[in-house]
Chains A and B, each alone.
Chain A
């Protein structure tokens, strides 16, 4: 069933777009066989990434895609914007910053919920975050 899933890119410009992205992510993670908790965690991660775009960059995209590596199936989220960028990524990745409400807030939580986390950001050049959550080996008939 997962073979029927293709990558989907959602433009984030309004708060309603965050909800759309969550919905797409939840549906796709269900199709990939993630349990209910993981579906919610993936939706939450999408929320955090999309909110950073909506609140600080104004606009950007979230791409949600199935990913297979070494026979293991997972879900990949890619958040891209051309906003102000995060001046101090190390600071943004520290716990406690997430409650500050500033740009980058919520990233430490996303990193912990996901298996892989990659961020590129510099002032004036926008931000790109790629995260992956692995589910398990590809099984026939899933």
Chain B
């Protein structure tokens, strides 16, 4: 609202300026603009006040007076936009609050602690590019020697990915009661995902079971970014084998079990495509470049290796994370 004192102040400001234009009055006018905005004075009210102020300063020619009608009319549209800012702001705050809740809920879907078995180190780095991640990983202890491991990437991110993720988690949780091999697990999940998510979405996944006694990892892959196997005896990184259709694409996809056995010092590196989609200058990181980075971080604890690799890749991509990033490092000691 335009008050009488505001109007008087405005008339004074205008008079001073017209008597001897100076930067100080312009500065004052700018500050007044902030005050007017803070007090919700609309553009059309200001226009009107300016017209009245002119009348107080002297004889206003009729054409100037009449021109204010045009200005006021135009300003009303600006005023409407100005008035809608409040509702935009409260909607924005509401969405932020909802997102924070979703974020907290999503954290609960991820394991809060890693399994601890003798002879095996586990390291994980999982970072969301935005508030809500489309990457999912989980460890589930099967018995004293074996645990299940899931790494998945849900297309798209945000709320839809988080909702899909909770469905995946509960599906896996209930299916693990049955003695399913990794291939059968993916077959079931494929049907569940296909039936329950939007056709435009899909999920890539690696699901496996690690036997810490035999140090044997049996897994199956559904369109997921292949991981790496480091053979310590040879000092060489190999691509993990395994192919299979992404989850949710066609209902009758079949999956194949793969098996690798880790010797002392061998390392399994599982990841999502956020790792390989780190950009170096304007190019995506190639797998052989990634291998070079990994080679530079050998010989440390799995978690330390995962942390160091994240820092390296982040630095390479100029600290810009384009996609959700998840890397799991399993190292037989």
Partners in one complex: yes
Chain B residues positioned under 8 Å from A98 (CB to CB): 80, 84
Binding site for B on A (CB under 8 A): 35-37, 40-41, 43-44, 95-96, 98, 108-109, 112-113
Enumerate chain B residues within 8 angstroms of A95, measured Cβ to Cβ: 84, 87-88, 91
Q: How large is the interface on B (under 10, 10 to 19, 20 to 34, 35 or more residues)?
A: 10 to 19
Q: Are B44 and A37 in contact (CB under 8 A)?
A: yes
A-contacting residues, B174-201, CB 8 Å: none
State the Cβ distance, A103 to closest chain B Cβ, in Å.
18
Q: Is B72 engaged at the interface, CB distance under 8 Å to the other chain?
A: yes
- 6 A-B pairs with C-beta separation under 8 A: A40-B73, A41-B76, A98-B84, A108-B84, A109-B84, A112-B83
| A35, B52: Cα distance in complex, Å | 12
Residue in B48, B80, B87 whose CB lies within 8 Å of A37 = B48
Could you tell me the distance in whole angstroms from the C-beta of B174 to the nearest C-beta in chain A?
38
Give the docked Cα–Cα distance between A77 and B254 (Å): 66
Cβ-defined contact, B45 with A37, below 8 A? yes
| Cβ contact within 8 Å between B87 and A44 | no
Contact between A36 and B72 (Cβ–Cβ < 8 Å)?
yes
Bound-state Cα–Cα, A19 to B275, Å? 62
Give every chain B residue within 8 A of A37 (Cβ-Cβ): 44-45, 48, 72
Inter-chain CA distance A44–B76, complex, in Å, is 8
Q: Which chain A residue shows the least CB distance to B74?
A: A40
User: In angstroms, how far is the closest chain A Cβ from the Cβ of B36?
Assistant: 15
Contact A40–B72 (Cβ < 8 Å): yes
With A36-B48, A40-B72, A98-B84 given, can you name 20 additional A-B contacts, CB distance below 8 Å? A35-B48, A36-B72, A37-B45, A37-B48, A37-B72, A40-B73, A40-B76, A41-B44, A41-B76, A43-B73, A44-B76, A44-B77, A44-B80, A95-B84, A95-B87, A96-B88, A108-B84, A109-B80, A112-B84, A113-B80
Among B69, B72, B88, the one with the most A-chain Cβ atoms within 10 Å of its Cβ is: B72
Establish whether residues B80 and A112, one from each chain, have CB atoms under 8 Å apart when the complex forms.
Answer: yes
Closest-by-CB residue of B relative to A106 is B80
Contacts of B87 in A (CB 8 A): 95, 108
- What is the bound-complex CA distance between A119 and B72, given in angstroms? 28
How near does chain A come to B92, taking the closest CB pair, in angstroms? 11
Residue ID in chain B nearest A113 by CB atoms: B80
Query: Smallest distance from the beta carbon of B221 to chain A beta carbons, Å?
Result: 43
Chain A residue with the shortest CB-CB distance to B51: A36
Provide the residues of chain B in CB contact with A113, threshold 8 Å.
76, 80, 83
B76 to chain A: closest residue by CB: A44
Within 8 Å CB of B80, what residues of A? Answer: 44, 98, 109, 112-113
A112: chain B residues at CB < 8 Å are 80, 83-84
B80 to chain A, nearest CB (A): 4
CB neighbours of B76 from chain A (8 A):
40-41, 44, 113
B98 to chain A, nearest CB (A): 17
**CA–CA, A96 to B88, complex, Å?**
9
- Interface centre among A40, A43, A112, by most B CB within 10 Å? A40
Task: Return B89 CB to nearest CB of chain A, in Å.
Answer: 10
In the bound complex, how far is the Cα of B80 from the Cα of A36, in angstroms?
A: 17
